[in-house]
Amino acid sequence: MKSANISKSAARNLLQRDKGASSLRIGGFEPFSTVDYPGRLAAVIFCQGCPLRCGYCHNPDLIPARAAGPLSFEDILSVIDRRKDFLDAVVFSGGEPLAQAAVIQAMTAMRRRGFEIGLHTAGTNPALLEAALPLVDWVGFDVKAPFDGYRGVTGADAGAKARVSLETLVKSGVPYEVRTTIWPAWIGKAEICMMASMLREMGVRRYVLQEARMPDRNPYPGGEALNDAAFVSETAAMFDAFEVRYAS
């Protein structure tokens, strides 16, 4: 009888602690993904809201702070709990997960369930990233442009915060990759060279260049940089690990 009471109490405590994450605004959910966390089968929570307005954004519905029909964290927990034997990790993506302080409680709830935690972020909130890193097992970090050129790509002067966040990430020891989406309107060979040199000096070891997708999910035209094999090879030589991800 005593052990049964302890079990019920523990269950109630777990549910009570999870309530701290109930205010997380969620715009989408993918129950199974093989591409959002390297080497892991993951569920992906798409957090609602983003302070950036990237010209190539292919998830514009996630930009507003609130959505018309948001998903509840409790509903997602119910789905994940039913699939816990098949999942390795839970990834918090967006939008921008670090736009919401409740992401810390949500990550904690998932760690209590035994999942590894992935984070996709552009580093817009350095303080919240620092708080999240002890809970995170892998980070996909988006560098949008040279840090002094963020406004052209994102519509916001967010480069200084991104730099601080990346410095914190590199020093943390948490596994990560840095990736840049190539939007030909603003990011060409000169900008890639600047970013690659900057990132190498910061200690980045893995760098990914990825094609931007148009609303129909085809690649934006004019991305000659990624079609120049010699240029790509020279960029790759600057890093221990390098990859180009194509839209198609």
At 133, phi and psi to the nearest 5?
Answer: -55, -35
Q: Cβ(118)–Cβ(136) under 8 Å?
A: yes
| Residue 12, amino acid | R
pLDDT band of residue 216 (cuts 50, 70, 90) is confident
**What's the rounded Cα separation, in Å, for the pair 117 and 126?**
18
| Residue 91, amino acid | V
pLDDT mean over 221-248:
91
Question: Domain 21-245: which topology?
Answer: TIM Barrel (3.20.20)
Q: What is the pLDDT of residues 136-148, one digit of tens each?
A: 999 999 999 999 9
- Is the bond preceding 188 in cis, omega lying within 30 degrees of 0? no
How big is the CA angle at 32 (ends 30 and 37), to the nearest 5 degrees?
95
Report in angstroms the alpha-carbon separations of 185 from 56, 78, 240. 9, 43, 28
CA torsion angle 120 28 88 23 (round to 10)? 80
Kindly give the residue spans of alpha helices, DSSP state H, lying in the chain.
Answer: 2-18, 73-82, 103-112, 126-132, 150-154, 159-172, 189-202, 229-236
Residue 59, Cβ density class (10 Å: 0-12 exposed, 13-18 middle, ≥19 buried):
middle
Q: What pLDDT score was predicted for residue 18?
A: 63
**pTM, entire model:** 0.91
Contacts of 87 (CB under 8 A, 6+ apart): 32, 41, 42, 43, 80, 115
pLDDT band of residue 5 (cuts 50, 70, 90) is very low
Q: In this structure, are strands 241-245 and 26-33 parallel, antiparallel, or unpaired?
A: unpaired
Report whether pLDDT(128) > 90.
yes
Residue with structure tokens 């523990």? 10
Report whether pLDDT(14) > 90.
no
**What's the rounded Cα separation, in Å, for the pair 95 and 62?**
5
Q: What is the pLDDT of residues 39-52, one digit of tens each?
A: 999 999 999 999 99
